[in-house]
Amino acid sequence: MNKNLRNILVLILLAYLFFMFGNSVMSLTNPDEVFYTLTAKEMVKQNTWSTPYLFGVPQFEKPIFLYWMIRVAFLLFGITNFAARFFPAVFGIIGVIGIYYLTLLGFKDQKKAFLSSAVLLSSGVYIGLSRTVFTDMMFTVWILLSLLGFYWAYTHHKKKAVGIILSFVCSGFAVLTKGPIGFMVLVLTVGSFLFIKKDLKFLKSWSTLLGFLLFLGVALPWYWLMIAKYGSTFTQEFFYNDHIRRILEAEHLSNDTWYFYPFSMVWGIFPWSFLLIAGMACFLKGLKSRINSFYVFLACWMVSVFIIFQPAHSKLVSYVFPLFPALAVIIADFIISSNSGSKKSRALFWGLFATGVILGLFAIGLVVCSFVMSDTIMNYVGSRVPLYILSVLLGILVIIFFINLSRKRLMKSVYALVAVIMIMFGIVPIIDKHIEPFVSSRDVCAYLMKNYNVENTILCSKFFARGTRFYTDKDVAVIDIPGKQFFSPHPVLFLDSDLKVADFLGKQPVTYCLLKKSALDDIERLRKDFNIELLRQIGNQYIVRIKKREVVDGK
């Protein structure tokens, strides 16, 4: 069997285990997974493939591509957890294969290509975004494929036309997935790379013109349709509120620091964090002396993503996720290069050693926490057994890791890290069911709808609004005292004062509520005018029934 094919098959199997295995166990989580899946579900209800809907009205927080994929998955698997998470996992697998071929183009080294993919598929943020319903995995993979298409064209002139066209088309789908920044990343990366290489003339060809026209054909029709149909409603929400405003205002104030993204890169790539620091130091130190154009290309890629996202006040780890494949390449290059020759790199050894210590402490910490935090563990997980299993498996792998490290078998130690992370995520489906009541509204909504006749609008905490709508199909109102509206406005009644809450409750003879503890405390202040009955607590969600006093007293 061809070695490349064998590597690809191994990577697909590993990626399946990391990204798709157990995806159906946990219900869709609050607040984001249910947001995207609810939108696709309401599109089904509205019988439309073009307009995203939320709470019964059009919403334009994100473009259409993710919703198309979820709807296709609904057709294949029904409206299920697995269906919602299916295509993020598929794109995660595609990204792993994409970085393999890009690294192979750049280094002509199958070991570096395979290790780049292994590092990427076992890194924390990449696993997380492959297993959840977000736009970021699809967006990142489209950008990766667009850059792969360009670099293929640049390094194989016989494939120039095909590569350039592929690059533009994939960029078009990136724009359909998250917006114009999908094209900006490609333009800045390719433009700066060709400028540094003094080779801008490379783009002077008929394939560039055809590729750009195809890009417009992929990216523009949906935007044109939305502008023609909804006018300023679409442009104000999509272009101003969700793009320009995020540059000017911080949605998450604590993230608005200059160091947020550098730190996010380090912890997000775990367990390769220490090796990233060492690898990046070597990469930057030797960048000027590198003859290989691929190093320049990687640098342009990372800098371009930073230039686009760093100035914006709204910051999330997922915003710079498009540069994580480049980080995986840098780590793999550092490991292979440091391990070659008779003299092994001390930086590689100590990076691996520090990683092993962290994982060993984590295994020990699981056992300690099962006793020290016994009540909390029992509440969240339901049993100590999964923690014991996980800690024993981790402990065995960490011991194997250190044995290999002590014998200077550094590459075996590297792949032992992949096995450690696989074990950690392999037990996730066992734990998922126990923590579900704390991260999803499915159980609480199922209990409410099964046991009570809910005829009116449900009052819920802001965090539970989307999940409540998704799992009950009922109208919702939000209580948040004192609170701020959703960053992207939702067409729901928003109650941010006692007066507004009392007025709302007074208009319904019976109101069922799904509340956080803080919202329940706010409701308690209205007890003199309403009968407030706690029906059940599931996880961190409280089911409450509220009746007007005159109804209770027969007045």
**What residue spans define the domains of the chain?**
3-339, 346-435, 441-552
What mean pLDDT do residues 25-54 have?
A: 94
Nearest to 489 by CA among 226, 179, 237, 250: 237
Neighbour count for residue 161 (Cβ, 10 Å): 16
DSSP classification of residue 242: I
Q: At what angle do helices 374-381 and 346-372 cross, to 10 degrees?
A: 90
> Does the structure show a pLDDT above 90 at 226?
yes
How much is the pLDDT for 2?
A: 85
How much is the pLDDT for 428?
A: 59
Higher pLDDT, 325 or 396: 325
| pLDDT band with cut points at 50, 70 and 90 for residue 488 | confident
Q: Which residues contact 66 (CB under 8 A, 6 or more apart)?
A: 36, 87, 133, 135, 138, 177
| pLDDT band with cut points at 50, 70 and 90 for residue 348 | confident
Token pair, residue 516, equals 């956080």
Q: Are 5 and 86 in contact (CB under 8 A)?
A: no
Per-range mean pLDDT, top range of 291-300, 417-426, 447-456? 447-456
Angle at 388 between CA 386 and CA 393, to 5 degrees: 95
Q: What is the pLDDT of residues 433-456, one digit of tens each?
A: 667 888 899 999 999 999 999 999
Least confident of 119-128, 291-300, 544-553: 544-553
First to last CA, the chain: 83
Q: Are 119 and 169 in contact (CB under 8 A)?
A: no
Nearest to 539 by CA among 461, 452, 458, 439: 439
How much is the pLDDT for 552?
A: 46
Nearest to 444 by CA among 305, 524, 538: 538
Backbone Cα Rg of the chain: 26
Nearest to 62 by CA among 143, 138, 142: 138
Nearest to 132 by CA among 9, 41, 31: 31
How much is the pLDDT for 185?
A: 96
Residue 370: CA atoms inside 13 Å, Cβ hemisphere, count? 17
How much is the pLDDT for 385?
A: 66
Q: What is the pLDDT of residues 232-260, one digit of tens each?
A: 999 999 999 888 888 888 887 888 888 99
d(C-alpha 44, C-alpha 537), whole Å: 32
Q: Which residues contact 121 (CB under 8 A, 6 or more apart)?
A: 11, 14, 15, 18, 19, 92, 96, 127
d(C-alpha 112, C-alpha 411), whole Å: 12
How much is the pLDDT for 398?
A: 82
What mean pLDDT value characterizes the chain?
A: 89
DSSP classification of residue 193: H
Q: Are strands 53-54 and 57-58 parallel, antiparallel or unpaired?
A: antiparallel
Q: Which residues contact 171 (CB under 8 A, 6 or more apart)?
A: 142, 143, 146, 182, 183, 186, 215, 219
DSSP state letters, 515-535? E-HHHHHHHHTTTTTEEEEEE
Instruction: Rounding to the nearest 10 degrees, give the CA dihedral for residues 216, 220, 222, 228.
Output: -140
What mean pLDDT do residues 322-331 have?
A: 96
> Does the structure show a pLDDT above 70 at 343?
no
User: Which one-letter amino acid corresponds to residue 96?
Assistant: V
| pLDDT band with cut points at 50, 70 and 90 for residue 341 | low
Dihedral sign from CA coordinates of 546, 549, 552, 555: negative
> Does the structure show a pLDDT above 50 at 457?
yes
> Model's pTM, two decimal places?
0.92
d(C-alpha 110, C-alpha 3), whole Å: 8
Longest dimension (CA), the chain: 91
Q: What is the pLDDT of residues 185-214, one digit of tens each?
A: 999 999 999 999 999 999 999 999 999 999
| pLDDT band with cut points at 50, 70 and 90 for residue 554 | very low
d(C-alpha 149, C-alpha 168), whole Å: 8
Residue 53: strand pairing partners: 58
Q: Are 221 and 175 in contact (CB under 8 A)?
A: no
How much is the pLDDT for 392?
A: 79
Share of the chain above pLDDT 70, in %: 92
Length of the chain, in residues: 555
| pLDDT band with cut points at 50, 70 and 90 for residue 264 | very high
DSSP classification of residue 462: G
Least confident of 266-275, 319-328, 367-376: 367-376
Q: Are 67 and 40 in contact (CB under 8 A)?
A: yes
d(C-alpha 178, C-alpha 447), whole Å: 36
| pLDDT band with cut points at 50, 70 and 90 for residue 555 | very low
Strands across the sheet with 510-515, in order?
Answer: 493-495, 476-479, 458-461, 510-515, 541-548, 530-538
